[in-house]
Structure 1
Amino acid sequence: MAYVTYDKAKWHWGAETAPTDIPQENGATHIAFFFRWCMERKLYSKDFAADFADDIARMDDSFDYRGFFFRDMDGVLDSDALNAAGKAFAKAYYTTGRTKFAKTHGWYLQDYDDFVAHKFGDKNFDNAYFYIENSPQNYAEVKQIIDRRYEEFLEAKKASKSADK
C-alpha cells in the first residue's frame, strides 16, 4: 500500500480561518483522538512499535496523546504509523466521504463534526472543532463513535468476503 497522509495539524491551525485566541494544538484534537484510538486497538505498524516502544508501554488514560502526536509525529498522521488493518480502516473511514464504506456508514470528519455540533447545541460557528477540549470525557464520546464505525467496517469487510466466495 502506498504512503498516505491522513491528516496534518498544520492543515487546521494553518488555515486562513483558524482562530488565533487558542493554542494551535486545539486544531489537532480530532486527529489525536483518532490516533489514540488506533494505539488502544494496537493498529500501529511494527516500525512505529520499534521506534516508540517506551512511549507505547506508557500509553494509558493519563498519557498525553496529543502532545506525543505533536512532539514525536510532527503533527502528522500517516500510513507509516499504522499496520495493515489500521491502514485499511483509515483509508475507508478517515480521509474522505467518497469511499464505499463512508458513503454507506459515514466518515470520521463528518462524525466528528456531528459530535462537535452536539457539544455546542444550536450554536453553529465556524471552526467550532477548535474549541473541543482535549479531555478524557470528550475522547470517551468520540471513542464510542469510532468503535461503532470500526464494528461496521469489520462487518462490511466480512460481508464483502462472503459475497466474493
Structure 2
Amino acid sequence: MSDVTVYDKAKWHFGGDYPADLDADYAYTHAGYFFGWIVDNDLVDSDFLDDIGDEIARFRAREISARELFIITDGALVDDMMNDTGNAFAAHYFDFTNGQYLADYESLLCDGLPTMYHAEDTPENYETICAKITERFDEWNASR
C-alpha cells in the first residue's frame, strides 16, 4: 500500500478559528481555486479525470466554479488527483509548511477581509489567483 499525500481538506478548517458567521462552503474556496488551476492546466491524473470527467467538463465550460468542483471532490486535495507534474508542483507551492500558495492567496484576495475564508468565490478572484499560480508555476518549472 502506498502513502497518500493529502495537501488540504476543507473539513480541517471547520471549528477552531473558522468564522461562525460563514457558510461552510467558504472553507472550500482556497484549495478549490488551486485545484481549478490544476484542471485548467491539464495536470489532473488520467484515472481521476475518468472518475469525475463530467464534472470537470462542467467546470471547464464554467457551468460550475472551482469551489463547486472542489466540493464535488469531497473537498480534499490529494496527490492522486494530479499527474506527476501537478503533484510535484503542489508539493512545492501548495504545501502548508513550505509553500507560498496561501501567502499569495491572502495577499491577492484577502486584503481588508477579516480572514482568508471571507474571500468570495467569483470569476474575477479565480482569474486573479490563477495568474499568480501560473507565474509561480513558470518560475518553478524554469528552476527544475
Query: After TM superposition, where is structure 1 displaced by more than 4 Å over at least 4 residues in a row?
Result: none
User: Where does the alignment leave 5 or more consecutive residues of structure 1 unmatched?
Assistant: 158-165
Trace 1:7-156 onto structure 2 (pairs within 5 A): 7-12=8-13, 14-60=14-60, 61-71=62-72, 73-98=73-98, 102=99, 107-117=100-110, 119-120=111-112, 125=114, 128-156=115-143
Q: In the alignment, is the contact (CA less than 8 A) between 2:89 and 2:137 conserved in 1? A: yes
- Deviations 1:65-93, CA, capped at 9 Å, x for gaps: 3223123x211110111000000000011
Q: d(CA) in 1 for partners of 2:66 and 2:109?
A: 20
Identity of aligned residues (%): 32
Structure 2 length-normalised TM: 0.89
- Is the Cα–Cα contact under 8 Å of residues 27 and 129 in structure 1 kept in the other structure? no
Which structure has the bigger radius of gyration?
1
The two structures have a TM-score, normalised by structure 1, of 0.79
Are the equivalent residues in 1 in contact too, given 2:7–2:77 (CA < 8 A)? yes
What's the CA shift for 1:52? 1.4
In the aligned structure 2, how far is the partner of 1:114 from the partner of 1:37? Answer: 18
Q: Specify every segment of 5 or more residues in structure 2 that has no aligned partner in the other structure, as ranges.
A: none
SS at match of 2:96: coil
Q: Secondary structure at the match of 1:7?
A: strand
Number of corresponding residues: 142
